[in-house]
Structure 1
Amino acid sequence: MFKKRFRILLGICMLLLFAFFSMVYYDKTEEVWYNLSGSKINSGDLKVVTNYDQYYAAVKDAMLNYDSTLTLRTLNYSEKTYNLDVVGKISQETPQLLGIIEGTTITVVNSIPAKLTLNFKYYDSKENLINKEKFVQQKVDEIVNKVIKSEMKDYEKEAALHDYIVNNAQYDERLFTKNMPKESYTAYGLLANKTGVCQGYAELMDRLLKAVGIESKIIIGEAKDETGWISHAWNIVKIGGEYYHLDPTWNDPVTENSSNEPRYSYFNITDEQIVKNHRWNKNNYPKCTSTTYSFNNLNLVEKDRRGNAIKVVKNYNEFYSSIKEAVRQNNSELTFRISNYSESIYDVEKAVTKIYNELWKDGAYSWSHYTDEITNSEYLTVTFE
């Protein structure tokens, strides 16, 4: 019994000694830190935080420098203030850090002052991450110089940068087979490999917009596909003093034949529209209610898989005359975007049969269509074989 108590007392003494020798003291009058020997401690050797803003800044600096360890001291430790939630907040507000961090741990020693040690795990080495960041910055500058003209309005700059992304990248379907490289979550992967997933799309969109002076935020939320709700990231952009949702990933649909068919369905839309298949914590982001700079109100041209402009028609007469002209010109394919679509009104078979008779032509043809629930319109493609 005596030996057991002795071991316990010895353990307690060791802990006390550890806490004692880890102590440092702060002289408020001189604003200087001292160790137990009375020697001044170089402020550069001791990172002290006294509030959340300082904590946020210290962690952000460490993450941007790809440091593996950060040690902080604080006299007013509170788990509510000094915790790992800051890492997620920093990652979301600092696009180049999205997809970089694989894990973070925090250890707290309740000495006086308290000692906080954060350990960061990145998906790649510090040297590689620094080089990749330099590459991204260089590419962002190149893209801006290539596609942006000084006379462009903000929505035109937004559209040009959006188009560059969806025309030069494809969604990385390896995500579904669990063998996708980690860099596909980043802007680097999208730029270097031409493939990526939503985080990469949103990060690159954000960085390009900010490079031309357009306010942007990245939303971390969920989107609903055929399997259910899945994690998703997209952008909120400020154009003309109003906020809009912009989802470049969903404007770059995955097609069966890997053809590039960019869309504008998710270009500058409202909360009411995007909530049909997206959800997010609305308390954390600005409201999007304006339609002034929505796709429907802009002269933006969508293109089909062959690079031809998609024809926007408002009535059957426009539909009929467009097909007739396509047949006359021996075009192989024609795609329409139709508002207030009705299959009985826009009867492809009836229209083509009549046109063939009028033009004394014949031949096989087919058609397909799908509904865009965001803009309440139908995309209808007629193919002449």
Structure 2
Amino acid sequence: MLKKISLILLVFVAFSILIPISAQAANITITINGQNVVFEQKPVIKNDTTLVPMRAFFEALGAKVNWEEKTKTVTAFRGETTVQLIIGHKIAKINGESYELTVAPQIINGYTYVPLRFVGEALGDEVIYDNGYIIINSSNQRTRVSSITLPKNTVSETNTFSSSNITSKKELYLLIKNALENNEDEITFTLSNSFCNSAGSSCTINDILKSISDIVDLVLEHYPEIGYANKWTISANGFNNVISKVSIKFDYTYPKDKLEKMKDEVNIKAKEIIDQIIKPDMSDIDKVKAIHDYIVKNTKYDYENLINNTIPPESYTAYGVLIKGVGVCQGYAAAFNLLAQLAGIDSLGVAGTGFNYSGSMPHAWNMIRIDNKIRYVDVTWDDPVPDQGDNVRYYYFNVTEEQLAKDHSWDKEKFLEKYFDYK
């Protein structure tokens, strides 16, 4: 499971971005995990409740949906959650437990509509209404905040790293990576005209901000072992659509002193593990196998907290896996990435979707490069649940892209071989 929420906050600024004031149905903007979603059938408002087209909305949230014509019943599934609604009835069910709705699901212009907030929150998502905008954050995502602000008049007491002109996506990627590795609170920089082309973006203010936020997200996906930042805010100072300075402020899951102590502890432990399991005469693939086997044998998947929706933050980190011996997929990928790099193996984290008997869910694994060949390792799915001690599986060890794609899906443009050489 990945911990990753995309949240975009819009504010009035010197760049004169217009935000709708009324919350009429025709003007509602729905954002799901940072992406604006436009439905063919527009949302409507009834008795102050926003209703949305049933099938399109569930699918946008990554849920599977069934429609029973005879009983007029909608049943949706995502992960461990089942939601059931009946047309014209104000009683809905979540995993069999009944809840009362303010407005019942109904047929409008031949389409089935359901209450947006209830459905989103029933699936464990956060639903925010903001002045004509509806922002939905999946419960298993990392927070991303993008904003444009006026120039600051005060200086806060934070650890700020300032850089000169950024000319390319690679330069910004490395700047962000360095900042997160060193627990920086904030970085500031300017952007050259060539940055837009490098990032594959147009040069509008919103597109530049989105490109920057996407690069932060990419760094955290590639290097989950430094993924202790749970939110970031991007501020751009400027006038007449010309940016003069950009700042990225990072918020971390833990206080700075605790975070530094945790990272020191996990780095010491990682080096001890490498000294223990890696021998001088090992081939690269033998090193990868030794790391894979160590994690499986010494880690229990945090299944109980998963089903109870009580996963602690450390289970998403290398600290949880290497120090506490417990984690979920993001923690497994973080631990593997850290150990692989210490052993001299090219490794990057990959974030995508896994498909198994329980359906689809956000998932994380690793991409490695050995002898100039790209292979994949999913340590999480090679670790039996419930835990079986030293029993190690190799279904997802050193597999090709074609083999992995049978039950994994990911945006391959975000995980290209070139990123191994971003150093």
Matched, 1:65 2:182: yes
Amino acid at match of 2:256: K
Distance 1:96 1:45, change over 3 A: closer
CA distance in 1, matches of 2:152, 2:229: 33
Conserved 8 A contact 1:237-1:243? yes
Matched, 1:272 2:402: yes
1:297-316 maps to which residues of 2 (within 5 A)? none
CA distance in 2, matches of 1:20, 1:278: 44
TM-score (norm 1): 0.58
CA distance in 2, matches of 1:107, 1:19: 8
Q: Following TM superposition, by how much is the alpha carbon of 1:45 offset from its aligned partner in structure 2, in angstroms? A: 8.8
CA distance in 2, matches of 1:240, 1:275: 22
- Corresponding residue to 1:97 among 226, 233, 250: 226
SS at match of 2:177: helix
Q: Following TM superposition, by how much is the alpha carbon of 1:216 offset from its aligned partner in structure 2, in angstroms? A: 1.5
CA distance in 2, matches of 1:46, 1:218: 27
- Corresponding residue to 1:56 among 161, 173, 196: 173
Matched, 1:250 2:381: yes
Displaced runs of 4+ in structure 1, greater than 6 A? 18-22
Aligned partner of 2:350 in structure 1 is 219
Conserved 8 A contact 1:246-1:269? yes
CA distance in 2, matches of 1:21, 1:132: 32
Conserved 8 A contact 2:161-2:184? no
Q: Following TM superposition, by how much is the alpha carbon of 1:276 offset from its aligned partner in structure 2, in angstroms? A: 1.9
Higher relative helix content = 1
Conserved 8 A contact 2:151-2:237? no
CA distance in 2, matches of 1:231, 1:141: 30
Matched, 1:132 2:262: yes
Aligned partner of 1:106 in structure 2 is 234
Matched, 1:240 2:356: no
Q: Following TM superposition, by how much is the alpha carbon of 1:240 offset from its aligned partner in structure 2, in angstroms? A: 3.4
Q: Following TM superposition, by how much is the alpha carbon of 1:121 offset from its aligned partner in structure 2, in angstroms? A: 1.4
CA distance in 2, matches of 1:280, 1:74: 30
CA distance in 1, matches of 2:280, 2:402: 33
- Corresponding residue to 2:213 among 84, 87, 108: 84
1:1-385 maps to which residues of 2 (within 5 A)? 47-52=163-168, 53-74=170-191, 76=193, 78=203, 79=205, 80-82=207-209, 83-98=212-227, 100-111=228-239, 114-173=244-303, 174-255=305-386, 258-260=387-389, 261-285=391-415
Distance 1:50 1:248, change over 3 A: closer
Conserved 8 A contact 1:245-1:266? yes
SS at match of 1:223: strand
Structure 2 residues without counterparts, runs of 5 or longer:
1-13, 15-148, 154-159, 196-202, 418-423
Q: Following TM superposition, by how much is the alpha carbon of 1:81 offset from its aligned partner in structure 2, in angstroms? A: 4.1
CA distance in 1, matches of 2:150, 2:287: 58
SS at match of 1:110: strand
Measured against aligned partners, the alpha-carbon deviations of 1:43-97 in whole angstroms (never above 9, x if no partner) come to x996432423443343333322223333334465943445311211221233322
Structure 1 residues without counterparts, runs of 5 or longer:
1-11, 13-17, 23-43, 288-385
Measured against aligned partners, the alpha-carbon deviations of 1:133-169 in whole angstroms (never above 9, x if no partner) come to 1112111111111111111222222111111110000
Conserved 8 A contact 1:49-1:55? no
CA distance in 2, matches of 1:276, 1:74: 41
Measured against aligned partners, the alpha-carbon deviations of 1:280-299 in whole angstroms (never above 9, x if no partner) come to 12334459xxxxxxxxxxxx
Higher relative strand content = 2
Q: Following TM superposition, by how much is the alpha carbon of 1:118 offset from its aligned partner in structure 2, in angstroms? A: 2.1
SS at match of 2:394: coil
CA distance in 2, matches of 1:212, 1:271: 23
CA distance in 2, matches of 1:93, 1:209: 13
Amino acid at match of 1:65: N
CA distance in 1, matches of 2:274, 2:350: 23
Amino acid at match of 1:107: S
CA distance in 1, matches of 2:234, 2:150: 18
CA distance in 2, matches of 1:145, 1:218: 23
Size of the alignment, in residue pairs?
A: 247
Structure possessing the higher radius of gyration over alpha carbons: 1
Aligned partner of 1:5 in structure 2 is none
CA distance in 1, matches of 2:272, 2:162: 40
Amino acid at match of 1:102: N
CA distance in 2, matches of 1:136, 1:154: 23
Percentage identity across paired residues of the two chains: 32
